[in-house]
Amino acid sequence: MSDRTEAVKAYLLDLQERICAALEAEDAGATFAEDAWSRPGGGGGRTRVIENGALIEKGGVNFSHVFGASLPPSASAHRPELAGRGFEALGVSLVIHPENPYVPTSHANVRFFSAEKEGEEPVWWFGGGFDLTPYYAFEEDCVHWHQVARDACAPFGAEVYAKFKAWCDSYFHLKHRGEPRGIGGLFFDDLNQWDFDTSFAFIRAIGDAYLAAYLPIVQRRKSMAFGEREREFQAFRRGRYVEFNLVFDRGTLFGLQSGGRTESILMSLPPRVRWGYDWKPEPGTPEAQLTDYFLTDRDWLAQQP
């Protein structure tokens, strides 16, 4: 393992520890169960799952470090010149599904790839980001989420937040539904335009910003009263989440195509989901406001200094 890979791995393992500790403290009713696993093709990981807590209905914070003789198609689709190279991939990926429909689902991921070929320099890149999927949304939460994202990007260039916000809006989009998955955040891939140290510093800034973005929203909303109406709406909207992860998500596809551990890959799926034929919320209701106002192309920081 190269010094670069060692440094990235040490950071990712520490990030997993810190995020799990903070979420356990916020839940105060359940703890993460750890499941260490190995991959027959090379590598392994550390899956941590929390279920049926006082706050979190289901969540996972996973670390993986896998390698193999040939990049899977999902990893080389956008870079066909790398097809057939050996690869090493490290990452932390998390999804948190709270029980209370007023607390949004959150997702974050930071990852590092290296593609190698004998006689040539390794090609490396980073990817990741974080995004928010509310059910009953609040403007102050959306603004806060994007402010933290913008602040994390600011030291790396004035244009970085806008570029990676737009990429997030484009990526987390259900083409067959014509709607976004949530209110966005940041998304980037194939990041190697900076030198390694700068790129690694950026990844750390994004990974470290997740808790600062999410926990204040959780703390504002977790005590709000809800009933079966809100839970039913949450279940229908979670169906959209499942559709995206199984049809479009590159991380899910990479995991499945690379022979990863199915339980760890699919831990992102919520425990309670519904679909209904041609289902739509009633116009003018709080449920309709989600798609009518919040899930639209919006600059949440337009009025912010």
Q: Which residues are annotated as a binding site for a divalent metal cation?
A: 97, 107, 146, 176
Phi, psi of 42 (to 5 degrees): 135, 125
Residue numbering of the annotated binding site for substrate: 93, 109-111, 259-261
Q: Write out the binding residues.
A: 93, 97, 107, 109-111, 146, 176, 259-261
Q: Which two tokens stand for residue 262?
A: 């199915």
* Set 65, 107, 144, 173: catalytic member: 107
Residue 144 annotated to the active site: no
Report the Cα 201 to chain-centroid distance in Å.
Answer: 19
**How big is the chain, counted in residues?**
305
Residues 6+ apart with CB under 8 A from 245: 252, 268, 269
259 dihedral zone (left: phi>0; alpha: psi -120 to 50; beta): left
- CA–CA distance, 65 with 251 (Å, rounded to integer): 13
Single-letter code of the amino acid located at 177: R
111, exposed or middle or buried, with CB in 10 Å at 0-12, 13-18, 19+?
Answer: buried
| Residue with the two structure tokens 């519904």 | 274
Give DSSP secondary structure letters for 254-295.
HHHHTT--HHHHGGGS-SS----TT--PPTTSHHHHIIIIIS
Catalytic residues: 107
